[in-house]
Amino acid sequence: MAYSDKVIDHYNNPRNVGTLDKAKNNVGTGLVGAPECGDVMRLQIEVDENQIITDAKFKTFGCGSAIASSSLATEWLKGKSVDEALAIDNMDIVEELALPPVKIHCSVLAEDAIKSAINDYRVKNGLPALELPKSHH
């Protein structure tokens, strides 16, 4: 299958690969997917006192589209408020990366990872976890 130029660019030059200190209170970590399914994403956000995401990092085990989806997600997260981050929809990722239908699940996983990281941050800071729609893949 042919990858789009944007997927190839993110794969070759992934943005924000790395690890944040998950012990810190202002760091939220989302770990989604499963090794048996062929993709696992770990996405982390660092949030300042104004609820702005100042840093985002990822590590992904998966195909090129999964790597690109999470790389793009970290790029989009930086500078956004937590509320703005919650509004990121998987179809935005699909559109930006021109993912084919068989790779839509990669974008869903990235959205799940964002929400899961935000929830981890919320729970750490005494806020109730948000009800997330059940993963749809």
Partner 1 sequence: MLTFPIYLDNNATTPLDPRVLDAMMPYLTNKFGNAASRNHAFGWHAEEAVDYAREQIASLINCSPKEIIFTSGATESDNLAIKGVFEMYASKGNHIITATTEHKAVLDPCKHIEKMGGKVTYLKVDDKGLINLEELEAAITDKTILISIMYANNEIGVIQPIKEISAIAKKHGVLFFTDATQAVGKIPVDVEADGIDLMAFSGHKMYGPKGVGALYVRRKNPRVKVTAQMDGGGHERGMRSGTLNVPGIVGLGKAAEIAKQDMEKDTARISVMRDRLEKELLTIEESYVNGSTEHRLPHVSNISFKYVEGEGLMMGVKDIAVSSGSACTSASLEPSYVLKALGLSDDLAHSSLRFGFSRFTTDEEVDYAINHVKEAVAKLREMSPLWEMFKEGIDLNSIEWAEH
**Least distance (Å) from partner 1 to the CB of residue 43?**
9
Which is the catalytic residue, given 41, 43, 45, 106?
A: 106
Q: How far apart are CA 53 and CA 4, in angstroms?
A: 28
Q: Among residues 11 and 86, whose Cβ is nearest to partner 1? A: 11
Is 19 a binder of partner 1 (CB under 8 A)? yes
- For 13, 58, 102, 134, the CA distances from 17, given in Å and listed in that order, are 10, 5, 25, 27
**Least distance (Å) from partner 1 to the CB of residue 50?**
29
Q: Give the 3-state secondary structure percentages of the chain, helix then strand then coil, rounded to 5.
A: 45, 20, 35
Residue whose structure tokens are 């989302």: 30
Of residues 38, 125, 129, 132, which one binds partner 1 by CB under 8 A?
38
**Cβ(124)–Cβ(30) below 8 Å:** no
Is 22 a binder of partner 1 (CB under 8 A)? no
Which of 53, 55, 58 minimizes the C-alpha distance to 41?
Answer: 58
Is 39 a binder of partner 1 (CB under 8 A)? yes
**Stretch 47-66: interaction string toward partner 1, x if CB under 8 A:** ------------xxxxxx-x
Contact positions vs partner 1 (CB under 8 A) = 3, 11, 14, 17, 19, 31-42, 59-64, 66-67, 105, 109, 112, 135, 137
